[in-house]
Structure 1
Amino acid sequence: MSSEAKSVLAMLSILLLLFCAVVSVLSNPAISLYQCKTDDDVCATKAVNLAYPLILEANEEIGAESIDPLFQPEIEGNLSILKFKLFNTTVTGFKTCSAENAKYNDEQQTLRIDIVCGAFTLSGSYDINGQLIVLPVQGNGDYVLTTKKYRLIIDLELKTITGKDGKTYRTVKNFKMEADPLEPVNYDFRNLFNGQKDLADTVLKFANENWREVAHEVQLPVFVANIKKMVKNANKYLKTIPIEEYTQQ
């Protein structure tokens, strides 16, 4: 195996722990999270930020999708007092994200990442019915949702599997996440209450004045759907590269 090929495989060990992605050409040796000691946050954070831009790229050969822009045919939120669906949503903004801190534990096969993103935009159509905290809300139509700075905290649980070829592969088993808007979020949902302007204006004014509380109420199904696509991408890459190949020195 050439030194350039080994460099590519080493980079994949980073991507493994941040949903992973393909590396096309690298001229210098890559930083690997396997070279970071457990709780060496500086090393892990550097590795994550080196890898992160690469996970946003589509790869038709293995079926990996673009993460920015990201297309979601349908996102469903079944909350206790509010039901909504978002259709044909385009999400942009993951390119603005970077890790402020990453904590890797090799023995436990976990990675916790604290990410700050500059801005997100979501646009598509919606159907909503229920109660938005204290106000009734109902409608369907087009929507645009824009944010500024956002913090995401993602906890990844990994696992090791054996392929049909007898080789071992590392994949993302599960994840949990938290999201917190650090600056105002703008909600623009058109045709609320079938176009009854007074009712619609009241709900939109409430949502935009109470952006943090509203975001915490409704955002999780949207972020989970997006991160699931990242994990799906990651595992497509991971299942093509045995662990022993990208941990070779």
Structure 2
Amino acid sequence: MSSEVQSAFAMFSLLLLLFCAIVNVLSNPAIPLYQCKSNDDACVTRAVNAAYPLVLEANPEIGAEPMDPMFQSVIEGNLSILKFKLFNTTITGFRSCVFESAKYNEEQQTLKLDTLCAGFTLNGLYDINGRLIILPVEGNGDYSLTTKKFRLIIDLELKTFTKDGKTYKNVKNIKVNAEALEPVVYDFRNLFNGQKDLADAVLKFANENWKEVADEVQLPVFMANVKKVVKNANKYMKTIPVDEYIVE
């Protein structure tokens, strides 16, 4: 692995640790290095945004997958009054996200990311049954979902481990809160086995009440997607000892 890629990985670790990091973008080695103390929120937020594009890139050497577009074979939602599965879904939009703030608590080993994303698109197959707030809904077939602005609050709990005498960090727990800030467009085909009147009524309700519907159904989807990004992150972090990016 080249020294430039190692520098990029170290910078990526800042995204998850809010410690010091080093960024060295492969196509532009002139980008300055970022070295931040854990309590310097302004510095680490700048560094996180500089590093974030690297988070989304694949790296076959360590098994990191591409994150935008992202592929999910199955996303399952088991809500109190609604059950759904999304199959073979392609998600785009994580590249549009910007970190407005990033806060690391060294004593508690927690990281909080306040993230604004310009929008997402999801396409795939679905199976759904239950009640969508007040309306019964069932069906299976093709679906698409398009959003505009979304805010994600991502809370991460970290752990420390030692390997070959070196200390490393990884993420062990994740909490996600998501809020749709602008309209979401839902298109689920073949609802009610193609009964147009029933299907049109559900889609009209979903699109007119986009925020309430998003609040009801979005958490399983975002949890699955953020977990996949964090899985990538942990693969990168296992390659970088803590003493290569922590500022004392």
Q: TM-score, normalised by structure 2?
A: 0.90
1:75 corresponds in structure 2 to: 75
Could you say if the C-alpha distance between residues 116 and 16 of structure 1 is closer, same or farther in structure 2, counting changes exceeding 3 Å?
closer
Alpha-carbon distance in 2 for matches of 1:86, 1:5: 35
Alpha-carbon distance in 1 for matches of 2:31, 2:6: 11
Shift of 1:17: 2.7
Which ranges of structure 2 fall in alignment gaps of 5 or more residues?
A: none
Matches within 5 A, 1:146-225: 146-163=146-163, 165-225=164-224
Conserved? CA contact 1:97–1:115, under 8 Å: yes
Which ranges of structure 1 fall in alignment gaps of 5 or more residues?
A: none
Alpha-carbon distance in 2 for matches of 1:210, 1:17: 37
Could you say if the C-alpha distance between residues 207 and 4 of structure 1 is closer, same or farther in structure 2, counting changes exceeding 3 Å?
closer
Shift of 1:60: 1.1
Q: TM-score, normalised by structure 1?
A: 0.90
1:31 corresponds in structure 2 to: 34
Shift of 1:174: 1.1
Matches within 5 A, 1:43-54: 43-54=43-54
Alpha-carbon distance in 2 for matches of 1:218, 1:60: 33
Shift of 1:127: 0.3
Conserved? CA contact 1:7–1:30, under 8 Å: no
* Superposition RMSD in Å: 2.4
Shift of 1:206: 0.3
* Amino acid paired to 2:109: Q
Shift of 1:50: 1.1
Q: Helix, strand or coil for the counterpart of 1:65? A: coil
Shift of 1:167: 1.5
1:41 corresponds in structure 2 to: 41
Q: Helix, strand or coil for the counterpart of 1:30? A: coil
Shift of 1:243: 1.4
2:135 corresponds in structure 1 to: 135
Could you say if the C-alpha distance between residues 4 and 235 of structure 1 is closer, same or farther in structure 2, counting changes exceeding 3 Å?
closer
Q: Helix, strand or coil for the counterpart of 2:116? A: strand
Alpha-carbon distance in 1 for matches of 2:30, 2:246: 18
Could you say if the C-alpha distance between residues 160 and 233 of structure 1 is closer, same or farther in structure 2, counting changes exceeding 3 Å?
same
1:121 corresponds in structure 2 to: 121
Alpha-carbon distance in 2 for matches of 1:248, 1:13: 13
Conserved? CA contact 1:9–1:245, under 8 Å: no
Alpha-carbon distance in 2 for matches of 1:83, 1:3: 48
Conserved? CA contact 1:49–1:99, under 8 Å: yes
* Amino acid paired to 1:134: I
2:233 corresponds in structure 1 to: 234
Conserved? CA contact 1:14–1:31, under 8 Å: no
Alpha-carbon distance in 2 for matches of 1:87, 1:65: 18
Alpha-carbon distance in 1 for matches of 2:126, 2:65: 23
Alpha-carbon distance in 1 for matches of 2:238, 2:6: 17
* Amino acid paired to 2:37: C
Could you say if the C-alpha distance between residues 208 and 135 of structure 1 is closer, same or farther in structure 2, counting changes exceeding 3 Å?
same
Alpha-carbon distance in 2 for matches of 1:10, 1:29: 14
Shift of 1:231: 1.0
Shift of 1:9: 6.0
Shift of 1:31: 1.4
* Amino acid paired to 1:87: F
